[in-house]
């Protein structure tokens, strides 16, 4: 069963919008509500990607790949996979001194017994081609481990309350703004 869209605004200035919204035909109310919800979802995704990108110093496109959001029952739900980003995705470069990642740290090769050596796996290593690897010299058969960077969910995990409040406030403001735009636009279409 589909619920009718309902709009409750609590400020005096926006009561006029509420009256305009209820004056719209039901079909147009659904259109306005759907557009506002979809736009709010986009803004929440973009905002989280921007803030998390600044916090963990990785490009927004990598964070967006780990995000999923959906709209259900009038709520925007943003889910961020808590997986560490492979250093391969951060465009590493290999030099004699180690691995360099633009905008991040350098993974230096350390000299001496039992020290680590970092390298990018060659293209003929099928399943790990291009990944940043670490070889520890002190083990008997020199095991190789894949190296990972930060998690896309790290920023929200560090300060969950801050991100929840920030994204909720942005969603509320964006939703009210887009509802106003859509009601005005659709009222103009019904008058014509």
Summarised one tens digit per residue, pLDDT across range 122-178 is: 776 666 666 777 766 665 555 667 778 888 888 788 888 888 888 888 888 888 888
Please tell me the predicted confidence (pLDDT) of residue 2. 43
pTM for this prediction = 0.71
Structural domain includes residue 1: no
Please tell me whether residues 111 and 128 are part of one structural domain: yes
Structural domain includes residue 117: yes
Q: What is the torsional sign of CA 161, 166, 172, 175? A: negative
Residues contacting residue 68 through CB under 8 Å, at least 6 positions apart: 78, 79, 80, 81
Specify whether the CB–CB gap between 80 and 108 falls below 8 A.
no
Structural domain includes residue 177: yes
Q: How many residues would you count in the chain?
A: 192
Please tell me whether residues 144 and 158 are part of one structural domain: no
Please tell me whether residues 78 and 168 are part of one structural domain: yes
Please tell me what DSSP assigns to residue 108: E
Specify whether the CB–CB gap between 82 and 153 falls below 8 A.
yes
Please tell me whether residues 21 and 50 are part of one structural domain: yes
Please tell me whether residues 103 and 156 are part of one structural domain: no
Q: From residue 83, how far is each of 35, 71, 86, 128 by CA, in Å? A: 32, 23, 9, 18
Please tell me the predicted confidence (pLDDT) of residue 14. 66
Domain count of the fold of the chain: 2
Using alpha carbons, select from 54, 90, 50, 89 the residue that is nearest to residue 67.
Answer: 50
Q: In terms of residue numbers, what domain contains 175?
A: 15-82+152-191
Please tell me whether residues 34 and 129 are part of one structural domain: no
Please tell me whether residues 73 and 156 are part of one structural domain: yes
Structural domain includes residue 64: yes
Please tell me whether residues 20 and 57 are part of one structural domain: yes
Please tell me the predicted confidence (pLDDT) of residue 141. 56
Please tell me the predicted confidence (pLDDT) of residue 192. 59
Please tell me whether residues 74 and 163 are part of one structural domain: yes
User: In whole angstroms, what is the distance from residue 154 CA to residue 58 CA?
Assistant: 12
Question: Which positions of the chain have pLDDT values less than 50?
Answer: 1-4
Structural domain includes residue 2: no
Name the packing angle between helices 15-23 and 160-191 (round to 10°). Answer: 50
Please tell me the predicted confidence (pLDDT) of residue 1. 40
Task: For residue 162, list its beta bridge partners.
Answer: none
């Amino acid at each position: 069963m589909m619920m009718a869209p309902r709009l409750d605004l609590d400020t005096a200035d926006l009561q006029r919008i509420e009256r305009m919204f209820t004056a719209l035909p039901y079909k147009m109310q659904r259109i306005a509500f759907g557009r506002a919800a979809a736009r709010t979802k986009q803004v929440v995704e973009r905002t989280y990607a921007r803030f998390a990108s600044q916090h963990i110093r990785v490009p927004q496109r990598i964070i967006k790949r780990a995000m999923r959001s959906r709209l259900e029952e009038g709520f925007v739900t943003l889910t961020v996979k808590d997986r560490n980003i492979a250093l391969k995705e951060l465009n590493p470069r290999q030099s004699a001194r180690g691995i360099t990642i633009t905008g991040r740290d350098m993974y230096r090769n350390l000299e001496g017994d039992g020290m680590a050596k970092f390298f990018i796996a060659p293209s003929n290593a099928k399943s790990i081609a291009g990944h940043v690897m670490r070889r520890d010299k002190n083990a008997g058969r020199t095991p190789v481990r894949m190296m990972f960077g930060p998690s896309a969910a790290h920023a929200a995990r560090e300060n969950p309350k801050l991100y929840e409040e920030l994204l909720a406030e942005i969603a509320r403001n964006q939703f009210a703004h887009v509802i106003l735009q859509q009601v005005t636009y659709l009222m103009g279409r019904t008058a014509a």
